[in-house]
Structure 1
Amino acid sequence: MSRARVVFGFGAPHGITEGPALVRAARQADRAGLDHLSLSDHPYFGARLDAYAAVGFVLGRTERLAALANVTNLPTRPAPMLARTVTSLMALSGGRVVLGVGAGGLWDRIAQLGVPRLSPGEAVEAFEEAIVLIRKLCGGGPPVTHEGRYYQVHELEAAPVPAPPVWTGSVGPKSLAATGRVADGWIPGHAADWLSERYRTSRPVIDEAAAAVGRDPGEIRTVFNLPGAITDRPLTAPRDEAGRWRGGSVQQWIEELTGAVLEHDAAGFTLFAAGHGPTDEVSLGRWAEEIAPAVREAVAAQML
């Protein structure tokens, strides 16, 4: 039995004054062999770095690390322009981009940017249409004409660059089904993990929608946002009373994540500090140099 490589990433500093810390963390992760860096995309907050400006800057200061907006605030970044942004980043970085996308949630704040407000149902429709159009505008081929409900382009050249992998932050049943039809990966919302009710009820929606359009559900990877502390000593209760992962020692993390891969088909993990904040330097080192290699080794041993 073969299994795709498990990916490990981390939540990076995103404050407008945290540029030096962001670069230090990115370069540390790059040297240590992590797979990706994650930045939130909330352009209505003036105290935060613009996600795509930061992604481009980080890619220019690293050699192997991929970067993604977790997840792109799609209503504020129209699909044709987002396609141009990600294909440019793909070309400049040698393909080190993941396109994380979401339908948009904080509509009161989104509307402050002058973006027309959509109903939840309309936002999901626009989200799926955007992914389809972005794929059309990647990989070369003839000029693209797209007459959709939310996007229209006429004889627009496609970039001669492959589309990046698309991971969604889908939560509701309609957006989960869209993920099954058109995406490559899923980041469960609200930092839900593999033992959560949200995961147990949501992943089958993705799988059924994928199968309905002739896709292999196993090709849609689940990459978990995972807040938690990496402690010097084992915790007696690495999960809280509600069953959410709190963290623990390096060995507790290794055992938990290995089980998540082997028993629950986890394809990757993005570490955040407890409270969903950026990862500190010490934890990032333990994550990259101790936990990730050990989990990969344990998974590989089981696959022999």
Structure 2
Amino acid sequence: MELRIFTEPQQGASYDDLVAVAQHAERLGFGAFFRSDHYLAMGSASGLPGPSDAWITLAGIARETSTIRLGTLVTSATFRLPGVLAIEVANVDAMSGGRVELGLGAGWFDQEHAAYGIPFPATGERFDRLEEQLEIVTGLWSADGSYSFDGTHYQLTDSPALPKPVQRNGIRGGVPVIIGGHGKKRTPALAAAYADEFNVAFSSVTDTCAQIGRVQAAVESAGRAADSIVYSAAQVLCTGSDEAQLARRAAAIGREVGELRENGAAGTPIEVVDRLGELAEAGVERVYLQLLDLNDLEHLDLVASEVMPHVAR
């Protein structure tokens, strides 16, 4: 199992904070550094010093790291035009030397759209836009020559389909694409058509297993092998070498230890190993550990020394 670090900088993080976590995760051997794509803090967090743009910060981090993979869980289709997004991601892929992955979703947090003047269509339209964006972004990357698209929401005419990403690893060529979610029909269908990886975020082992099964069935129905897609999960991380340290880390992120033990990769390191083992049995090959306190780099040290050796490939 590969372990990746997933951050939520809209809750309060500077660019320097993100660089520090990414560089430390790289030194410790984590597979990737990912960040959310949000513009507004959630819950009681102040959000200070203010939101940062996912692809702008990843561009900077691409030049501040050398081996760790980088990406989003997930970029919102409401935030960017698909042609612009294809250019941005290809640019960051070049800046990283081919280490970028694109998580793309329909968007869901209506308050951040209202706060920054971003249109927020109804759910059905957002998924329609997401499907067109997936077709356009992957189409631009894989096109041999000019590219045109005539959709309901987006139209492209004789695009030069440039720049191309450094990577040609996606199922359609270009950057690997990650799709996630809990929908029972449309989400698996989109994953079967466009995804190199499918992610189930913050779910129980039982629900994760069920959703992976739906996606595997959709992938096979689309004529792909079930194992042609990577299956991953995201879990909040909170571990401590003893109960006192665990309690301090839970308090720092405003959560209860018991609730974290039930719903995340939490507890002692061996409890975290056990949870990851359960996810592996459910079909998960890669786990994104959600690190909410970005100032606690020793948290990563503990995972690298006491968890990673028991689950690494």
Same structural fold, with TM-score higher than 0.5 when normalized by the shorter chain: yes
Structure 2 equivalent of residue 37 of structure 1: 33
Change (3 A) 1:109 1:160: closer
What secondary structure, in the 3-state scheme, does the structure 2 residue paired with 1:11 have? strand
Counterpart selection for 1:257 from 276, 279, 290: 276
1:192 aligned partner, one-letter code = S
1:302 aligns to what? none
User: Offset of 1:192 from its aligned partner?
Assistant: 1.1
Does structure 2 retain, via aligned residues, the 8 Å contact 1:239–1:247?
A: no
What RMSD in Å do the two structures reach over aligned CA positions?
A: 2.6
1:179 and 2:205 aligned: no
2:302 — aligned with what? 286
Which of 143, 148, 151 aligns to 1:148? It is: 151
Cα contact 2:21–2:294 (8 A) shared by 1: no
Q: 1:62 aligns with which of 41, 60, 65?
A: 65
Q: Call closer, same or farther: CA 1:220–1:278 in 2, change over 3 Å.
A: farther
Aligned to 2:253: none
Deviations 1:72-117 (A, max 9, x none): 0111111111100111111121111110111010234325544443
Q: Which residue in the other structure is 1:165 paired with? A: 176
Does residue 26 (structure 1) correspond to residue 22 (structure 2)? The answer is yes
Unaligned runs of at least 5 residues, structure 1? 1-5, 298-304
Letter in 2 for 1:39: R
Q: Determine the structure 2 residue equivalent to 1:192.
A: 203
TM-score (norm 2): 0.81
Distance in 2 (CA, whole Å) between partners of 1:13 and 1:205 is 28
2:171 maps to what in 1?
A: none
Quickly say closer, same or farther: Cα 1:105–1:265, change in 2 above 3 A.
same
Deviation per CA, 1:236-285: give whole Å up to 9, x if none: xx975994235122233223323422x22211111124xx5547211111
CA contact 2:261–2:267 (8 Å) conserved in 1: no
- Does 2:7 match 1:12? yes
Aligned length: 284
Q: For each residue in 1:158-211, what CA deviation from the matched residue of structure 2 results, as whole angstroms up to 9, or x when unmatched? A: 23323211112323232232122221112224x114x143x2442233223222
Q: 1:114 to 1:20 in 2, by over 3 A?
A: closer
SS of equivalent residue, structure 2 residue 90: helix
* C-alpha distance in structure 2 between counterparts of 1:224 and 1:208, whole Å: 18
| 1:57-206 correspondence to structure 2 within 5 Å | 57-139=60-142, 141-158=144-161, 159-161=163-165, 162=168, 163-173=174-184, 174-189=186-201, 191-193=202-204, 195-197=205-207, 199-206=208-215
Shift of 1:149: 1.6
- State percent identity of aligned pairs: 23
CA contact (8 A) 2:17 2:295 kept: no
Distance 1:99 1:129 in 2: 15
Matched, 1:268 2:277: no
Distance in 2, matches of 1:290 and 1:213, equals: 40
Contact 1:13 1:21 in 2 (8 A): no
What residue is the counterpart of 2:56 in the other structure?
53
Encode CA deviations 1:130-182: one digit per residue, 9 max, x unaligned: 11211111145111111112221111122332321111232323223212222
Structure-1-length-normalised TM-score: 0.83
